[in-house]
Amino acid sequence: MTSLKKAMLLFTVLFIITGLVYPMTVTLIAGFLFPNQAHGSLIVDNENRVIGSALIGQNFTAPQYFQSRPSASGYNATSSGGSNLGPTNPILLELVDKRTNALWKAGITDPIPSDLVMASSSGLDPHISLESALIQVPVVAKARNLPEEKLKALVLTESVKSPFTGAYVNVLSLNRALDEMNQSNE
Amino acid sequence: MMITQSVTMDGLMLILFLVIVTGVALPLSNFFFRVFSGDMSRGILSHIEKTIYRLIETDSDREEGWRGYAQDMLIFNCIGFVILFILLLLQGFLPFNPQNFGAFDLLTAINTATSFVTNTNWQVYSGETAASYLTQMAGFTVQNFLSSATGICIAIAVMRGITRQSTDKIGNFWVDMTRCTLYILLPIAFVFALILASQGVIQNLDPYVQATGHGLHEQQTIAMGPVASQEAVKELGTNGGGFFNANSAHPFENPTSLTNLIEVFLILLIPVTLPFVFGRMTGRMWQGWMIYTVMLILFLGGVCTLYAAELAGNPLVKELGVSGISMEGKEVRFGLWESSLFATSTTATSCGAVNSMHDSLTPLGGLVPLFMMLLGEVAFGGVGSGFYTMIGFVVLSVFIAGLMIGRTPEYLGKKIEILEMRAAVITVLVPGVLVLLFSGIALVLPNVSELMKNPGPHGLSELIYAFASMSQNNGSAFAGFDASNAFYTLIGALAMAIGRFVPAVAMLAMAGSLAQKKKVPPSSGTLPTASITFSIWTILVILIIGALTFFPLFAMGPIVEHLIMTGGV
């Protein structure tokens, strides 16, 4: 048998094993054992509509919500990616300046944590740092006419601690909890 | 958030992490050793293995010389290229394509097929808008297994060449490929794919999901796919090609702090294991520890520099009233430490997956990934390729040291002569020459600056990074650089192919030559290669070759930008 024929046969067998059997088996087992995670950790409302994914960030800009991070892709979950702006690029500095000023204007006190004015790597970062959530409390409290203490407590219960980074908050989860709190108040 | 960052804690965490990787690599190296000596053949996998040998009429005990081994390796990889190329062109007519993606265009297909066959995974396409699920599974995942298995097989053949004597046989490529894929890559990838899936990495064949969005109802279409199965082998085989455009920064590829550590663990696992496999093969574990130590020191230098540069942050942004490190192109859940660890690991090996956008790192932070690639990706190196490139450096170090102290250069009892030196020099220099040559050509072409996303010295860094990444088969990018035109797709494919196969064949030739030689018993004139002195010497040789070859480029790119950023000029 020539080397070419051997190579073709071996490739065919390994192709079937690694390219079809392996991913299909993982799909079946993962779908069986971890159906929620395997299908995207989707959040579904009472009317069975998909609101989003617990892992994928959404764009929140209205004052009654906690803002998410800036995104180079506008939270388009079919076009992930970062800005790729370099550290000395004037466009980056201009953007950061604009975002910082907008936050100051909205009533947030300085200094602004960097994650709130600099775009993420995926464009879909679901989190902001705990600090970034806390400095937004007065603004959201005012827009919703809620006591600041109550909001602060909510942010702290929503915050996740990690041994490798500081504490952070899932913005979608926080804003959902916020709306639920408002509804139960009414 | 970043203010609470404790540097000591991060340092301890790094040490603990590396201890765990090494602790797993040591017993794993024993497993590797047994797999490649045919000692593991049992169970259902052995049934498949024997069926394969019957099918291709191969006797697992019949070995080949280096020429046969290299020829089989090249033929096998050519077939891989052709099949992937066809898949990319035909994907519009094939199943598992819920988004109805059409064919890749011709040049993109050539570039992409070369990229995945050479273990580079440089991507000029964007996963979620161009590649069907079939392409991801039967195209990219297959090459993620086979290109990394190819690298490991070559490394094992080189080890055999060094440790055997008076034979011209260095192994049977078909047998090595089969064993590596079945016993090593497949089981580890399978287990870790499920672990990743349990933590939120998606694994499905669903069409993209329409979500209403919360609150003010901003609609969102969410990309889906069989991600976990590819993610595991993408890291394990230091491939690095993201399922999604954002690669391992995408929450569906890398949802948590823990999955991030698992992924870095997978990236480093096989590269850290191989020196110990070598130690076991030579019967002298200290030889393995020596190579491991050299790699470790270079790695630690990289990770600490990157961490320190990012910790210092960007003063231009701080002036605007912003606190903390530069978070542009970083994810909150990874923060400083996990971003630094990932960026160094992915470029110190030939992985190229990213969890932060390297283009947006601070100048000195971004210099580290570039530097790690240009050193030849030897700390700890790509699966297989890192090890054999390191052997190239060791042979070079033995030779230079031998000349300086007037001893016959020999490594582990084998005389280093003309053929070995030729192979070592080719292995060490070819990728670097490609970087200089192609960057030079690119720079004299008109309108090159229009392809750069960032002005000034950073644009030059982007260009060099692109060629370093392709020639060294890394695949990460300063992704602002637009390398999608005909010139870059074709010359990039050329750089990837030469950068992969020329050193591979050269090292197989060295293995063939060394296998034929008799071992000379160590005498008082032998240079001890498992000593601290020799380790330091090897590090210096690696640094001098890397630093001197590229220092002018570093100076004109990242270093000038650092001075501009800090107001040093």
In angstroms, the CA A54 to CA A124 distance is 11
CA distance B331 to B250: 9
A90 touches chain B (CB under 8 A): yes
Neighbours of B108 (CB within 10 A): 17
Tens of pLDDT, residue by residue over B531-556, are 899 999 999 999 998 778 899 999 99
Partner-chain residue, chosen from A50, A55, A92, that has the shortest CB–CB distance to B210? A50
- Rounded to a whole number of angstroms, the distance from the CA of A117 to the nearest CA of chain B is 8
CB contact under 8 A, B251 and A124: yes
Distance between CA atoms of B557 and B554, rounded to whole angstroms?
A: 5
Partner residue facing A80 (CB), from B245, B257, B454 = B245
Report the gap between the CA of A185 and the closest CA in chain B (Å): 17
Q: Residue B447 corresponds to which tokens in the numbers above?
A: 């309108």
- Virtual torsion, Cα B202, B303, B478, B104, nearest 10 deg: -40
Model ipTM value: 0.96
A-chain CB neighbours of B368 within 8 Å are none
Whether A96 and A13 map to the same domain: the answer is no
pLDDT in tens, A145-178: 999 999 999 999 999 988 777 899 999 999 999 9
Give the separation between CA B179 and CA B42, rounded to whole angstroms.
11
User: In terms of domains, do A70 and A148 share one?
Assistant: yes
B231 in contact with chain A, both atoms CB, cutoff 8 A: no
Please check whether residue A106 touches B, CB under 8 A. Answer: no
Give the residue from chain B lying closest to A50, CA to CA: B211
Q: Which of A53, A57, A111 comes nearest B321 by C-beta?
A: A111
Per-window interface: A 33-62 vs B, CB < 8 A: 33-34, 37-43, 45, 49-53, 55-60, 62
Tell me: do A122 and A89 sit in the same domain: yes
Q: Which of A37, A114, A176 sits opposite B322 (nearest CB)?
A: A114
Q: How far apart are the first and last CA of chain B?
A: 32
Q: Are residues A11 and A55 part of one domain?
A: no
Q: Is B316 on the interface with A (CB under 8 A)?
A: yes
> Could you say which of B142, B320, B453 has the minimum Cβ distance to residue A100?
B320
Residues of A in contact with B201 (CB under 8 A): 37
Q: And the tokens for B457?
A: 């010295």
Note whether A20 and A54 are same-domain residues. no
Q: How far apart are CA B186 and CA A92, in angstroms?
A: 43
Whether residue A6 and residue B244 make contact (CB cut-off 8 A), yes or no, is: no
The reply to whether B523 touches chain A by the CB within 8 Å rule is: no
Q: Do residue A130 and residue A108 come from a single domain?
A: yes
Peptide bond into B81 cis (omega under 30): no
Which of chain A's residues have a Cβ under 8 Å away from the Cβ of B257? 162-165
- Contact map slice: A 117-136 vs B, CB within 8 A: 117-132
Phi-psi region of A127 (alpha: psi -120 to 50; beta: other; left: phi over 0): beta
Whole-angstrom Cα distance, residue B405 to residue A22?
54
Between CA B20 and CA B17 the distance in angstroms is 5
Task: Give the 3-state DSSP-derived string for chain A, with helices as H, strands as E and coil as C.
Answer: CCHHHHHHHHHHHHHHHHHHHHHHHHHHHHHHHCHHHHCCCEEECCCCCEEEECCCCCCCCCCCCCCCCCCCCCCCCCCCCCCCCCCCCHHHHHHHHHHHHHHHHCCCCCCEEHHHCCCCCCCCCCEEEHHHHHCCHHHHHHHHCCCHHHHHHHHHHHEECCCCCCCEEEHHHHHHHHHHHHHHHC
How far is the CA of B182 from the CAs of B46, B186, B187, B372, in angstroms? 9, 5, 7, 31
Residues A11 and A103 in one domain: no
Q: Is B226 helix (H, G, I), strand (E, B) or coil?
A: strand
B467 interface with A at CB cutoff 8 Å: no
**Mutation site for A-interface testing, chosen from B175, B181, B220, B358 by largest number of A Cβ within 10 Å:** B220
Q: Which of B328, B354, B566 to probe by mutation at the A interface, max A CB count within 10 Å?
A: B328
Same domain, A167 and A75: yes
Looking at the fold, whether A121 and A150 belong to one and the same domain comes out as yes
How many Cα atoms occupy the beta-carbon half-sphere of B192 within 13 Å?
27
**3-class state of residue B222 by DSSP:** strand
Task: Note whether A28 contacts B: Cβ–Cβ < 8 A.
Answer: no
What is the span of the domain harbouring residue A10? 3-38
Residue among A37, A31, A87 nearest B558 (CA): A87
Domain match, A112 and A32 both: no
Same domain, residue pair A25 and A115: no
Chain A residue at shortest CA distance from B213:
A51
Cα Rg for chain A, rounded, in angstroms? Answer: 22
B202 within 8 A of A38, measured Cβ to Cβ: yes
Q: Check CB contact under 8 Å for B331 and A121.
A: yes
Q: Which residue has the tokens 């009472």?
A: A46
Whether residue B41 lies within 8 A of chain A, CB to CB, comes out as: no
Nearest CA in chain A to B320: A97
Q: Among partner residues B55, B224, B461, which is closest to A9 by beta-carbon distance?
A: B55
Q: How far apart are the C-alpha atoms of B117 and B114, rounded to whole Å?
A: 5
Is B52 touching A (CB cutoff 8 A)?
A: yes
What is the number of domains present in chain A?
Answer: 2
Tell me the three state secondary structure of residue B91.
helix
Structure tokens at B66: 């280096």
Question: What is the sign, positive or negative, of the torsion defined by CA atoms of B373, B375, B378, B384?
Answer: positive
Contacts of B226 in chain A (CB under 8 A): 23, 26-27
| Ordered per-residue pLDDT tens for chain B, 569 residues | 444 458 888 999 999 999 999 999 999 999 999 999 988 767 888 899 999 999 999 998 899 999 999 999 999 999 999 999 999 999 999 999 999 999 999 999 999 999 999 999 999 999 999 999 999 999 999 999 999 999 999 999 999 999 999 999 999 999 999 999 999 999 999 999 999 999 999 999 999 999 999 987 689 999 999 999 999 999 999 999 999 999 999 999 999 999 999 999 999 999 999 999 999 999 999 999 999 999 999 999 999 999 999 999 999 999 999 999 999 999 999 989 999 999 999 999 999 999 999 999 999 999 999 999 999 899 899 999 999 999 999 999 999 998 888 888 899 999 999 999 999 999 999 999 999 999 999 999 988 888 999 999 999 999 999 999 999 999 999 999 999 899 999 999 999 999 999 999 999 999 999 999 999 888 877 888 888 999 999 999 999 987 788 999 999 999 999 999 998 65
Minimum CA–CA partner of A112 in chain B? B322
Count of C-beta atoms within a 10 Å radius of residue B399: 20
Residues A103 and A116 in one domain: yes
